[in-house]
Structures are given as C-alpha cells and as structure tokens.
C-alpha cells in the first residue's frame, strides 16, 4: 500500500482527555478528505503540537494517523509550527520515505522543496491573499501576508496541485505556477454526522471559526446589538478561539451582551454539531475565506447562512436560494430580523441548503477528486 504523508504547518489539534479538538480549517480539510483514501493508501498527517506541548503525540482519527511534532507558537493570525516542528518533520519524512508528500497550504508546499525525497510532491492551495483585496482595518495585515505568500510561491516546486475553488486555480494558471496537473477539490461535510434538524431554538444564531482579524467576529456583536432591539432573546453562539478572543470578550461587556452571546472556545466535533443543530441561522462576516467549511456544515444541519458577500461564500451558494449574501452589518441585521419573523421562509431556505450540501459538498466527493489528482 502506498504511503501518503501530509504536512499541515498552520495548525494541529488539541488532544486532551481522549478528545480531538480542531483548531483550524486546513486540518479539517486534510483529515476528512484523506480519510476517504485510507482503503487505498496508508495516510499520515504531520502537524505541530498545540502551544505549550513539546512531547510527540500520535493518534488515529477516522483511519488517519495524526502525528503532532515539535512546538508551535501563537502568531497574531494563526497557530503555526515553529522551527522544531519543521526539523522533526524533515526527519520523519526522511525516515518513513512516503510515496506521496503533500503540503497543506502555501507555506507547507514551499517547505516540501527543501525535503530531499523521490516522492511525488503535491501542494494544497486553499486561498491566495495576493490576488484578492479587503477593505477596512485588516488591509495592512492582508498585505503583509500577501507579500510572504508571493515569496513562498516563488520558491515552491510541485508535481501536482489541489485547489479549493476555481478562482485560485485561475490565478495560479495566469501566473503559470506548476504547469502540471491541477484539480479543484473543494471542501465538504459528512452528511451522515450532521443531522438535519427541523426543531431549532428560538432566536438562536451561530458562528464557528477562528477569532482573527480577517474573520471580523467583533462586527457580529454590532449585528446582535441591532437584532436585540427587535428580538431581546436573541443568542449568538461563538465556537472557536484565537488571538482576538480578549477583544471580543471586551466588546461583549461594552455592548452589554453577556446574555446574548455565548463563547465556547474549541470544542469536540460532537459539541460543535450540537450547537449548529440547535441554531436557526449561521453568521459569518469574514473579509476573506478560501472556502468556509463551517458554512457548509451549518447548511447540512438546517441553519440558514447569512454571510458576507465574498467570492468563497458565493461559490458555496452555487447561485441557489439557500441563504443571504450581505454587504454590511446593517443589512445582515435586517436579514436576521426578517428571517426570525418568517419561519416558513427560514424552513424553505434550510431545506434548500441541506439539499445543496448533499448534492455538491461532501467529503466523499472531495476524496474522489483527490484520487483523480493523485492517480491521474
């Protein structure tokens, strides 16, 4: 059986009390998509330990071996592996001689160039900062990441590339990056795990994701403050953690929203699913996404998305009536108020969203596209 080793530089799980807590979407993509290949391949994912841990940790999740190496550091925008992780990863690859080596993200794909191996080298590109734009206070951060990304791409040499959406594929083709095989693999949801729920808690909303500048989670608090004027019992459930957590907590106090916002931090998959199943509406005001896995997960459970009008969200909607794309906080609040007052319309959109998730956005389909890429 051929061996696949995937390097996930930008985040590892929290392994605690027998639980597996995800910290970022790139790892979710890697694990759930490659889990569909374990009948044909021996799959290992290498990722950094969560901050504060140094001891190697090994676990199995859905047939995939997950190995946490080295140390990690909280940078201001991501949970990233440090130099000790890169050193141990290099040694692991040399010792285990995989047939296929995958770099999950631009930085990990760039790292593969410096690993001497005869393995087929594959990069997964989730998004491209340097080909997009963003407004507001996050613009300076976006520009800095774009510069680092262009530098990393200039050093990267790959045999094949998996991209998450067609915009990324088009941008890479225009730049004549990796003229070999490139496949749009997308993202997905395990519809068997995400039960469609007709019974929702009244006025219950949810957000799932990291608390970073580009996610603009603090702006959702302004939205909830507006919605509360019409629906005093509205509650926003925020699942996730990140460098903006303290800022979000301060704003909750400043706006007197302690009864209207619940902060969960990182939770087990089962807990996250339970939150989405209870929620009537899913919110995201992100300035930039490569895809947005939680949005698809929300649709699978019947939570109607009201999200920022950005390319990745449009791509997920596929032009179908499954929710609303909005341009600002005021419009988001208006859509929430209207939908909370119209259960028939909310139910219609919820059923449409579940149908779209089942037809288009499943991990089984993503796994099939990976198999096409790797064996083509």
d(CA 77, CA 214): 9
What are 205-251's pLDDT values in tens digits?
999 999 988 899 999 999 999 999 999 999 999 999 988 999 999 99
Q: Topology of domain 204-360, per CATH?
A: Rossmann fold (3.40.50)
pTM of the predicted protein model? 0.89
Domains 2-188+362-375 and 204-360 share a fold: yes
Query: What six digits make up the tokens of 375?
Result: 């064996």
User: Within 13 A of 61's CA, how many CA atoms are on the CB side?
Assistant: 27
pLDDT (mean) for 87-93? 94
Its CATH architecture, for the domain 2-188+362-375, is 3-Layer(aba) Sandwich (3.40)
Worst-scoring range by mean pLDDT, 164-173, 303-312, 321-330, 354-363?
A: 164-173
pLDDT of amino acid 150: 85
What are 264-312's pLDDT values in tens digits?
999 999 999 999 999 999 999 999 898 999 999 999 999 999 999 999 9
Where in the chain are the domains?
A: 2-188+362-375, 204-360
d(CA 37, CA 43): 8
pLDDT of amino acid 138: 52
Query: What six digits make up the tokens of 115?
Result: 């690993």
What are 93-118's pLDDT values in tens digits?
999 999 999 999 999 999 999 999 99
Q: 75 falls in which pLDDT band (50, 70, 90)?
A: very low
Q: DSSP state, 136?
A: G
d(CA 42, CA 17): 26
């Amino acid at each position: 059986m051929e061996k696949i080793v995937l390097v996930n530089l930008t985040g590892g799980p929290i392994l605690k009390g027998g639980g597996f807590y995800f910290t970022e979407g790139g790892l979710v993509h890697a694990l759930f998509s490659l889990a569909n290949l374990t009948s044909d391949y021996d799959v290992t994912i290498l990722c950094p330990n969560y901050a504060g841990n140094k001891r190697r940790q090994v676990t199995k999740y859905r047939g995939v071996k997950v190995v946490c190496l080295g140390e990690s550091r909280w940078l201001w925008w991501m949970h990233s592996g440090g130099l000790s992780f890169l050193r141990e990863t290099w040694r692991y690859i040399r010792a285990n001689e995989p047939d296929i080596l995958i770099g999950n993200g631009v930085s990990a794909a760039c790292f593969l160039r410096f690993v001497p191996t005869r393995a087929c080298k594959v990069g997964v590109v989730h998004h491209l900062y340097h080909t997009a734009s963003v407004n507001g206070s996050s613009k300076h951060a976006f520009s800095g990441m774009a510069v680092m990304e262009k530098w990393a791409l200039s050093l990267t040499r790959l045999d094949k590339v998996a991209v998450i959406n067609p915009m990324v594929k088009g941008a890479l083709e225009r730049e004549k990056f990796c003229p070999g095989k490139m496949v749009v693999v997308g993202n997905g949801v395990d519809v068997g795990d995400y039960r469609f729920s007709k019974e929702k808690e009244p006025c219950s909303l949810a957000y799932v994701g990291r608390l970073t500048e580009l996610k603009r989670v603090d702006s959702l608090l302004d939205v909830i403050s507006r919605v509360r004027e019409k629906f005093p019992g509205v509650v926003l459930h925020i699942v996730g953690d990140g460098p903006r957590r303290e800022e979000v907590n301060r704003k909750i106090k400043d706006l007197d929203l302690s009864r209207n916002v619940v902060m969960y931090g990182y939770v087990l998959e089962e807990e996250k699913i339970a939150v989405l199943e209870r929620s009537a509406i899913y919110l995201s005001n992100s300035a930039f996404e490569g895809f947005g896995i939680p949005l698809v997960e929300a649709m699978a459970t019947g939570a109607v998305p009201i999200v920022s009008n950005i390319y990745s969200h449009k791509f997920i909607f596929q032009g179908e009536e499954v929710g609303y794309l909005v341009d600002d906080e005021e419009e988001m609040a208006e859509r929430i108020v209207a939908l909370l007052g119209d259960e028939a319309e909310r139910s219609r959109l919820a059923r449409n969203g579940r149908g779209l998730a089942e037809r288009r956005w499943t991990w089984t389909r993503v796994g099939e596209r990976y198999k096409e890429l790797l064996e083509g």
